[in-house]
Chains A and B, each alone.
Chain A
Amino acid sequence: MPEEIRWLTDEAAALGEASLSARPLLVDFARKR
């Protein structure tokens, strides 16, 4: 099964995971379809 990106939608969660994982953020500004 193809890998899917697990997008976070909450800033606090994103910053928290970035801090825990020591990974940078990729912020995607997208329109709802």
Chain B
Amino acid sequence: MGTVTYSSEQVARYISGNFVPWRVDYDTESVQLRRYNVFWTPTVIFADGKGNERARITGYLPPDTFIIYLLMGSARVALAGHNYSEAAELFDEVAREFPGSALAPEAVYFRGIARQKATADDGHLDDAVADLERLYPESEWLIRAGPWKDED
């Protein structure tokens, strides 16, 4: 991700406060390269505390975009770890703070899932569909949420 993105104060603060940063040399054949099947650089992997991959980024991103991906990475780790309330808050942060981001529709979709899983209230899925219809009617994530409309 290079010197530009990681030297950003905001990016560095978020990573230091929310992750354990682990750097693997791409040019040295290693167990990690094979385990994570990394074939290009930069590649950033979000993994749970045991090293299980939950999300990844391939390709360079500037700091203002990378910070959104960091939030989404945190959210995906929380969701996969069944920490639904935490995941819902993180997806909500992306949806509210970065509504113009390419990741916002995905965040709305998964916010609905995380809230439903946290509360067992299907109304959160209805809310997600309504938000996607209102804010991102052309989004693929609205198509993915299509079956939710039929669950009354």
Show the binding face of A for B, using Cβ within 8 Å. 2-9, 11, 14-15, 17-19, 21-32
Q: How far is the CB of A2 from chain B (nearest CB, A)?
A: 5
A9's partner among B9, B19, B22, B74 (CB-CB below 8 A) is B22
Does any Cβ of A come within 8 Å of B147's Cβ? no
Show the binding face of B for A, using Cβ within 8 Å. 1, 6-7, 9, 12-13, 15-16, 18-27, 31-33, 36, 38, 41-51, 54, 70, 73-74, 77
Question: Is B48 touching A2 in the complex (CB atoms < 8 A)?
Answer: no
Question: Is A24 touching B1 in the complex (CB atoms < 8 A)?
Answer: no
Known A23-B20, A27-B22, A29-B24: A15·B51 in contact at CB below 8 Å? yes
Question: Is A27 touching B1 in the complex (CB atoms < 8 A)?
Answer: no
For chain B, what secondary structure do more than half of its interface residues adopt (helix, strand, loop), or is it mixed?
mixed
13 additional A-B residue pairs with CB within 8 Å, beyond A9-B25, A24-B49, A24-B77: A2-B12, A9-B24, A11-B31, A11-B51, A17-B20, A18-B50, A23-B19, A24-B18, A26-B46, A26-B47, A27-B44, A31-B27, A31-B41
Question: Is A15 touching B50 in the complex (CB atoms < 8 A)?
Answer: yes
The 6 closest A-B pairs by CB, nearest first: A14-B22, A26-B19, A18-B49, A7-B23, A27-B45, A25-B47
